[in-house]
Structure 1
Amino acid sequence: MNDMTTVKATTTKDFDPVTFDIIQSALEAIADEMFVAQVKTSMSAIIYEVLDLSTSVLDRHGEIAASGAGIPAFIGVLDKAIKGIFKKYSLDEIKPGDVFASNDPYFGGVTHLNDMVLAAPVFHEGRLIAWVSNIAHWNDVGGNVPGSMSTDATEIFQEGVRIPAVKLFEEGRENKAVFDILYVNTRLPDYLRGDLWAGIAGLRIGERRVLELVEKYGADTFEAAVDDYMQLGERRARAALRNIPEGTYTFEEEQDTGAIHRVTLTINADEFVVDLTDNPKQKGSSNSSREGTEIAVQLAFKAFTDPDAPGNGGFFRPLKVVTKPGTIFHVEAPGALGYYSEVEIRVFDMILRALASHFPGVVPAGNFASICGTTVGGPHPEHGRHYTIVEPQIGGWGAWEGSDGPSGQFSGFHGETFNCPAEVAEARYGLAVDQVALNAEPGGEGQWRGGKGIDVHYRVRADNNFLSLGYTRSRIPPWGVAGGLDGSTNYIELRRTDGSKERLSFATNVEVNTGDVIRVVTGNGGGFGDPARRSREAIERDILNGYLTPARATEIYGYEG
């Protein structure tokens, strides 16, 4: 029988704190090594270039002990995925050599079907001591459209193959039936195969390194060090809470669709409560699971309270999230979740905006705040095989007092990922990259201006290709602060060979053909402070860089060249 308790009763006082520090730092290094191993062996550019993945080492209970590099919102999935495994399997059914897979939000997958979680228990002398886990976005997992994300989906059944926390390996033996099901339910079996085995390789590295650590220091010391790290996270969170004035803060925000999203925050010395019950009913594919909403709240909570504290399970113990089943922030089966990220990023934004109203100077102006998921595919012009690219986009961040906003960055919610270089895009995708530039459109001016979004042109090189996308902040721009102007919006401009143009924000399977140009435009962040107070040197630098026309400089800043 697997025993999740320690062999003997001990306290952290029985151990050397220096050894604890070594073990805790080693856990972070292990998670990072898992990340690198997966990146270097993956097949898809969205993993090895964009870095749309995350890794983690978790304790025996499935709480995050150490988070590796990668998307913060993905790291928060992994503890919830392990708890999904515990709901389905008893301890006696979890064995050394097991590897679990889950992409189903209703079985611990949390996000959407494209994001596959892999997890393996780590045993030492028959004792479960830890878990290693990773998550990565796969380009295609079946469903009614290539890329598996459809703005038209109304049920999860339309979005691809569902893997509900099943065993890929059982006691080290490959479950070939599950592998076959995965390979046959994708339009890109070679890519899926490569990305899957890269994830497995990452787990094996993590398991090996954890066991090396346990062999060196002993299982009792290892578990005590993990518990101590959790306690440190909790202490840091509670210390931060004590420095925040108690109160109740509400905020509501209109969305591009006209819907109103609402949040109520209640803060005291012991608890940070986020109430999202008063929100629209679930609809289409823009819904989040209850666990996914919790992740968005966790990210905002940590960013506001103590960004430098350990991002482990202990840190989030004072946090409470309240949702209502059947709403966009707590989807019920069989609701679709293809564009879950656009829902979660709204929660992240709203919480920070609610706090910004009461704690000036803590939160910058608004950023482009969308994943801007862009999917293009079809027959490759050189060999005719089907290709599909899935790209999140980068954009402009908001300015704050004393600094212009950063340009060409992923949103704080997404984080730590990159754009795909033009050279790689042209080599791997069936597209030509005619332009990669920062967004020169007006928006975000101020004493300190918002960061610039991007203006990228993809030229289609074959007929019968398709375009799917999901962009929010396409109507309502990022907000300015303290007199700074609002930023600009996110959209795609489809330029046809006949000279016609079409502006898109949410669309599925739009046909594109040889010579059509897909122009990706992401927003400039909001400005901070009265534009009239911007320095002449900064204005002239913006004109020189092409970010500002002389006419616009005169209109907004009163500049005379």
Structure 2
Amino acid sequence: MTDKTFDPVTFDIIQNALEAIADEMFYAQVKTSMSAIIYEVLDLSTSILNPQGEIAASGAGIPAFIGVLDKAIAGILAKFPLEDIREGDVFASNDPYFGGVTHLNDMVLAAPVFHDGVMVAWVANIAHWNDVGGNVPGSMSAEATEIFQEGIRIPAVKLFTAGVENHAVFDILKVNSRLPDYLNGDLWAAIAGLRIGERRVLELVAKYGADTFAAAVTDYMDLGERRARAALANIPQGSYSFAEEQDSGVVNKVTLTVTADEFIVDLTDNPAQSGSLNCSREGTEIAVQLAFKDFTDADAPGNGGFFRPLKVVTKPGTIYHVEAPGALGYYAEVEIRLFDMLLRAMAEHFPGSVPAGNFASICGTNIGGPHPDTGRHYTIVEPQVGGWGAWEGSDGVSGQFSGFHGETFNCPAEVAEARYGLGIEQVALNSEPGGEGQWRGGKGIEVHYRVRADNNFLSVGYTRSRMPPWGASGGLDGSVNYVEVMRRDGTRDRHAFTTNLTVNEGDIIRVVTGNGGGYGDPKLRSRADIERDLKNEYLTPERAKEIYGYEV
């Protein structure tokens, strides 16, 4: 079809079709991956982008990953001139200094889509791989000081050139992983997702014509921009500053400036880059984009057009703009702290606009070693769920991933026990105090992993381990995130960040995630709500009397 059909109904059909295609790419990858972090936890994302690399449509998955893919395409285009990109090419990048954006565990794959010799789109995905080498199993070390220590670096290279597989790159990837079979399976699952996306985009172009397809994408971008600017017009203009102490005692700072045309986020006055707690400039933009969208118009299209009024200012060499060869293994904790700080700043300057604080950490938990039944190396990579903050009229939600982490799931106990060398002794809501208010914060969780073999390892990276989620409008602060290792000899040791800690048969790894902050004066909580909390064991009689003045 070559006729131009520029009408709103056709545009709407194409725009919705693109969302459906991105979702189909997502589930094709989910159903064919080998690692539970992908097929159970859904630690991945997919997008369709225009030829310039702006996001046109996104599939399900982690919101913070969706924003990676346009920046990854920018990294590819910076390295490869358009005349060097051909039909059948497939690119791979995991290096934050070459468009990888996050850390080395997250592999981006992208492919151009050509129609009649002309590029009409990109299809792309990103997923977390359990092990990409480096100095510790799982490839995430809190002790890393340079990216060289964190694993194999893939700096935006071609996996396929004009449809021909580059066997050398495949071999290099596999030989650098402690889990080569899983890596290879996850890699081909990602390729399958791209091929599904390419096929569906070409079917859409064939049906409506390349000109109509391109016009529909442009129209969708413009809709996103109109929605953002309409929301911006409703925010009082001015400058708003905020500072927040972190677990380590350092203070992170932000200045928000709202003008008639821009929403400016200035992060220049922040700590110097340090260890593995850094993120790329592009990663900082993603955290800001998510907070901006949450605050302005959560229901608008999350495409490239929506973020045109947003401006992010950073200083090279800081935690929000790491310079090479800085490490980025725990980049997500830097970004989630930024995302949370921005929401807290908005809550302070625009009361009632966002809920109380949530547990706000990925709580990445890596456990592995020799499998007790087979002797084969295993690694479980498990982000954790926790408590969300309360809001006026509503208790917080319990046992959910943070808003930054988004539409993902915990790995079911049955799957974890079948695939990994661990026993799951307990999965329960966190009964610790914290987060009380007229509306209470959601409950975190308490999970017990039983180690079934000697010489296993534990690596974790939890923030909000000292500074709890903040209460709002008189509500109390929530509780903190931590891991406690209960040794078989009866001793216990507590951790927030640790790398390659030895755990042995019979040890219990006790994961505790925070309760969200409360909202409103606790003295105003209804008697019925207090009694329900007591019945569900979210509250002890002693705490009920102390906080609510309630006598059992």
Q: Secondary structure at 2:140's aligned position in 1?
A: coil
* Residue aligning to 2:184: 193
Name the CA distance, whole Å, in 2 between partners of 1:236 and 1:304: 13
1:543, CA displacement in angstroms? 1.1
User: In structure 2, which of residues 335, 355, 358 is the aligned counterpart of residue 367 of structure 1?
Assistant: 358
2:259 counterpart of 1:244: no
Q: CA deviation at 1:321?
A: 0.3
Partners of 2:528 and 2:227 lie apart in 1 by 42
Aligned partner of 1:328 in structure 2 is 319
Residue 101 of structure 1 is matched in structure 2 by: 92
AA matched with 2:397: P
State how far apart, in whole Å, the 2-side matches of 1:543 and 1:138 are: 42
**Equivalences for residues 427-506 of structure 1 within 5 A:** 427-506=418-497
Question: Which residue of structure 1 lines up, in the alignment, with residue 49 of structure 2?
Answer: 58
Q: Which runs of 4+ in 1 moved over 2 A?
A: none
Q: Where does 1:369-448 land on structure 2 (aligned, <5 Å)?
A: 369-448=360-439
Structure 1 counterpart of 2:493, one-letter code: E
The corresponding residue for 1:234 is 225
> Within 1, Cα distance between the matches of 2:285 and 2:551?
50
Higher mean C-alpha displacement, 212-221 vs 543-552? 543-552
* Counterpart Cα distance in 2 of 1:520 and 1:194: 30
Q: Which residue of 2 aligns with 1:28?
A: 19
Cα separation, 2, equivalents of 1:493 and 1:326: 34
Task: Output aligned runs, 1:211-230, within 5 Å.
Answer: 211-230=202-221
Taking structure 1 as the reference length, what is the TM-score of the superposition?
0.97
The answer for the alignment partner of 1:551 in structure 2 is 542
Counterpart residue identity of residue 134, structure 2: G
How many angstroms does 1:546 deviate by?
Answer: 1.2
Query: Distance in 2 between the 1:482 and 1:414 partners?
Result: 26
Give the SS at the match of 1:469: strand
Q: Which residue number corresponds to residue 3 of structure 1? A: none
Q: Matched residues in 2 for 1:318 and 1:529: separation?
A: 34
Deviation for aligned residue 1:350: 1.4
Report the residue type matching 1:544 in the other structure.
K
Matched, 1:357 2:338: no
Q: Among residues 148, 153, 161, which one is paired with 2:139 in the alignment?
A: 148
Q: 2:338 aligns with which of 308, 326, 347?
A: 347
Which of 178, 192, 197 in structure 2 is aligned with 1:206?
Answer: 197
Deviations along 1:97-150, one digit per CA (max 9) or x if unpaired, are 000000000000000000000000000000000000000000000000000000
Distance 2:40 2:293 in 1: 27
Deviations 1:487-523 (A, max 9, x none): 0000001000010011100000000000000000000
C-alpha distance in 2 between matches for 1:189 and 1:349:
36
Aligned letter for 2:257? T
Q: 1:204, CA displacement in angstroms? A: 0.3
Amino acid at match of 1:534: R
Secondary structure of the 2:298 match is: coil
2:245 pairs with one of 237, 254, 276: 254
- The alpha-carbon deviation at position 359 of structure 1 amounts to 1.3
* RMSD (CA atoms): 1.0
Looking at structure 2, the residues matched to 503 and 89 of structure 1 have their Cα atoms a distance apart, in angstroms, of 48
Q: 2 CA distance for matches of 1:325 and 1:358?
A: 28
Is the counterpart of residue 541 in structure 1 residue 538 in structure 2?
no
Uncovered stretches (5+) of structure 1, i.e. residues with no partner: 1-6
Give the Cα–Cα distance (whole angstroms) in 1 for the partners of residues 81 and 449 of structure 2. 50
CA-CA distance at 1:453 after TM superposition = 0.2
* Amino acid in the other structure paired with 1:223: A
Provide the secondary structure at the position in 1 that maps to 2:450. Answer: strand
Does residue 288 (structure 1) correspond to residue 279 (structure 2)? The answer is: yes
**Structure 1: distance between partners of 2:530 and 2:8:** 53
Shift of 1:242: 0.6
| Matching residue's letter, 1:446 | G
CA distance in 1, matches of 2:502, 2:50: 48
Alignment-mate amino acid for residue 518 of structure 1: I
Matches of 1:523 and 1:31 in 2, distance apart? 33
Rounded to whole Å, the distance in 2 between the matches of 1:234 and 1:481 is 32
Give distance in 2, aligned partners of 1:78 and 1:397.
28
Structure 1 residue aligned with 2:107? 116
Is residue 2:68 matched to residue 1:74? no
State which of 18, 24, 28 in structure 2 corresponds to 1:37.
Answer: 28
Q: Secondary structure at the match of 1:381?
A: coil
Q: Supply the distance in 2 between the matched residues of 1:265 and 1:349 (Cα, whole angstroms).
A: 14
The reply on whether 1:83 has 2:80 as its aligned counterpart is no
Residue correspondences, number: 551
Match for residue 513 of structure 1 among 504, 525, 536: 504
SS in 2 for 1:160: coil
Name the % identity: 81
Equivalent in the alignment of 1:523: 514
Deviations 1:140-165 (A, max 9, x none): 00000000000000000000000000
Task: Give the drift of 1:405.
Answer: 0.1
Picking from 298, 307, 331, the partner of 2:289 is: 298
* CA apart distance, 1:47: 0.3
* Residue 296 of structure 2 corresponds to residue 279 of structure 1: no
| CA distance in 1: counterparts of 2:328 and 2:460, whole angstroms | 14
1:544 Cα shift?
A: 1.0
5 Å matches for 1:130-149? 130-149=121-140
1:468 offset after TM fit, Å?
Answer: 0.2
> What one-letter code is carried by the residue in structure 2 that aligns with 1:346?
R
How far off its partner does 1:69 sit? 0.3
**Which residue is equivalent to 2:551?**
560
How far 1:91 moved relative to its partner? 0.7
User: Residue 349 of structure 2 aligns to a residue in which SS?
Assistant: coil
How far does residue 382 in structure 1 lie from its aligned partner after superposition?
A: 0.4
Q: Displacement of 1:537 after TM fit?
A: 1.0
Opposite residue 169 of structure 1, the aligned amino acid is F
Q: Distance in 1 between matches of 2:341 and 2:486?
A: 34
The one-letter amino acid of 1:85's match is: I
SS of 1:407's partner is: coil
Report the CA distance between 1:195 and its aligned residue.
0.5
Question: How big is the shift at 1:345?
Answer: 0.8
